[in-house]
Amino acid sequence: MSSPVRHYVGGGFDASGVPLPLVDPVTGRVAGEVPQASREVVDRAVRAAREALRGPWAVWSPTERSRLLHRIADGIERRFEEFVAAECADTGKPRALASTVDIPRAVANFRSYAGLLTGRGERSWHTATPDGRGALNYTVHKPLGVVAVISPWNLPLLLLSWKVAPALATGNTVVAKPSELTPGTACLLAEVLAEAEVPPGVFNLVHGPGADAAGQWLTEHPGVDAVAFTGESRTGSMIMRAAAERLAPVSFELGGKNAGLVFADADLEQAVAGTLRSAFTHSGQICLCTERLYVQRPVFDAFAAALATGAKELSGYGPMVSAAHRDKVLGHLERAAADGEVLAGGGVPRFGDERDGGFWVEPTVLAGLPEDHPAVRDEIFGPVVHLAPFDTEDEALALANAGPYGLAATVWTGDVSRAHRVAPALEVGTAWVNTWNLRDLRAPFGGVKASGIGREGGDHSLDFFSQPMNVCVKL
């Protein structure tokens, strides 16, 4: 890792706190340490953020904030290779993924909101009055205040910047807490923000676990005005209860058990290739990955055979992020093997080198499990997909919509009418037709049911991180 892991509070770096080991997922070896923020450090970060709301930052214009976001994007690009190295060291993901998705997308997040901010207008209304002279009503968008940003370990910089960029664009101050497993790129981002001359206290960074530690102290803090969180649904519920005590608004992107539907009229070669991406990118450690796949019966056997062959031939994938997460995934696979059929994978790959000490799981294709089986019902968040057949369109929709989650889904079909029928009927925030994870940063992103509250992206994020005020002027 190119920089030491430190807190960033009030414009200064601080390495205080009991250290936790940072473990390289590729080899299982300790590669560094991360300091755990004390309650005092968290308090200081929130105070610094609140004081910054009353400082020079309060009078920065949208144009000035837009220029800051561009400077941040420039800073990430200048240190691109450092960010890639830190992302790979923390997560174990292949360089090809970090260098083409994670780091470029972080740059795009800052540039996107810089552009959206300068094009954002206010609304106004001419209002009739009894005396005939009228009145003018117009809106003013104001920041929420101090925003806690809690980001997960799977896409550390991408998801951190996805929230920090619109929060800063709308004039808020931020206290960020990345996962204690993957702090590297967050530290580099703090350095970039300092180089970009963000005023002290506008962006603060604290490290540590969630429960009974920095995460909990931050989300429960009375000085925090809003919480933006990406992570597990159970953690989201706990944060929501804490925020409810002070009626603080929340934006949540939570878990998923995403379904895919493959109809008999689909281009099967395209559907197999797309499913290999949607199930196994980042070894399934993306909230949008497909874990349940329903295939129309006439093509089920051919599709299953092709997908299993493709999974066996995959190379260049990465490990699970930690030993605990690997063991969770392997526990699901052990039970699934006893109750169903393993078409591909199901175990731990052997390399004959230092990677054998890492947290690896083979890309795995399962079949033959009932719908209430834990491997079909619970979010595994690993390189695992379960296949099941269906007969009719109605049956496919019922299967896809079952369960507590509703984040994303894929539909593979050659019938354009079916695509427009099925996709809107899915109980998800995003449905992809004949593709996967094709994103427009202006489009709404989020989940339904246990998969989240609110929408991110474009104006949706700007709306969450600001509050409209009405001004009425009697003419």
33: its two tokens: 């340490």
Nearest to 358 by CA among 348, 366, 346, 372: 348
Per DSSP, the residues of 323-381 read HHHHHHHHHHHHHHHHHSEEEE--S----SSGGGGS-----EEEES--TTSHHHHS---
Tell me the C-alpha distance between 11 and 13, whole Å: 7
State the catalytic residues. Answer: 253, 287
- Give the DSSP letter of residue 36: P
Nearest to 42 by CA among 84, 76, 10, 1: 10
List Cβ neighbours of 331 (8 Å cut-off, separation of 6 or more): none
Tell the residue number behind the tokens 């101050």, with chain if given: 173
Q: Which residues pair with residue 411 across a beta bridge? A: 261, 433
| DSSP H or E run through 388 | strand 384-390
- Give the DSSP letter of residue 456: B
Residue 385, Cα to own-chain centre: how many angstroms? 20
CB 169 within 8 A of CB 113: yes
CB 136 within 8 A of CB 124: yes
Tell me the C-alpha distance between 59 and 45, whole Å: 21
